Amino acid sequence: MPHLKYLLIPLILLLNACGGDDKKVITTVDNPEIVALAFFDALYNEKNVKKAASVCSPKLAKLILHYRSPQAVARHLFNMSYDSVEVKPDTSGVKVREQFKGTANITIYFDGYYQEERIKDVKRLAIIQRDGKWFIDKILKDPF
C-alpha cells in the first residue's frame, strides 16, 4: 500500500482547496483515481450532491442532481448507505489504464459504518477525459 499515500496527499490538498461554501466543485486533476475518490468523499462524507455532480458527465450529473439529497443518490444509484466511509482505489490496474488514454475503469473499495454496523463494498466507475479533465461517465455493474 505504499502508493496509497501518494494518492491521499493530493486528495487532501484538492479537497482543502475547494473552499467553504455550499456551491463547491471538485477541481479535476489529471488523475481519474483522485476524481473518483473525491466524488465518493463528497457524496458520503461531506453529504454534498452538487460537489459530487461537478465531476460527472452532463448526463450523470443531471441524474445525480435529480435525486437532490446524498442519501437518495446513495440509495438509488449505489445501493449503499453509510454514516461515514473510507474509500480507496484499486491501484493494481493503473498501468493498464495508462495504455488507454482518455478512458478509465476505476474500482473503488468502501469500508465504513451505517448505524454502527460495519459495511464493506466495491464499486466500479467508467471515467472519461474531455479537454484534459476527467469526468465520471457511468456507474458500471457490480464486479462480484
In a domain, 144, yes or no: no
pLDDT of residue 85: 93
- Report the domain count for the chain: 1
CA dihedral of residues 104, 44, 82, 30 (deg, nearest 10): 20
54 occurs within a structural domain: yes
Per-residue pLDDT, 4: 42
Q: Quick one: pLDDT at residue 141?
A: 87
pTM given for the model: 0.75
Res 92: pLDDT: 75
Domain housing 56 = 2-139
Mean pLDDT by 10 residues, the chain (144 residues): 44 44 53 91 94 96 95 92 91 58 90 95 93 92 71
Q: Which positions ≥6 away from 74 have C-beta within 8 Å?
A: 43, 44, 80, 81, 82
CATH number at residue 34: 3.10.450.50
Q: In this structure, is residue 127 part of a structural domain? A: yes
The pLDDT assigned to 31 comes to 85
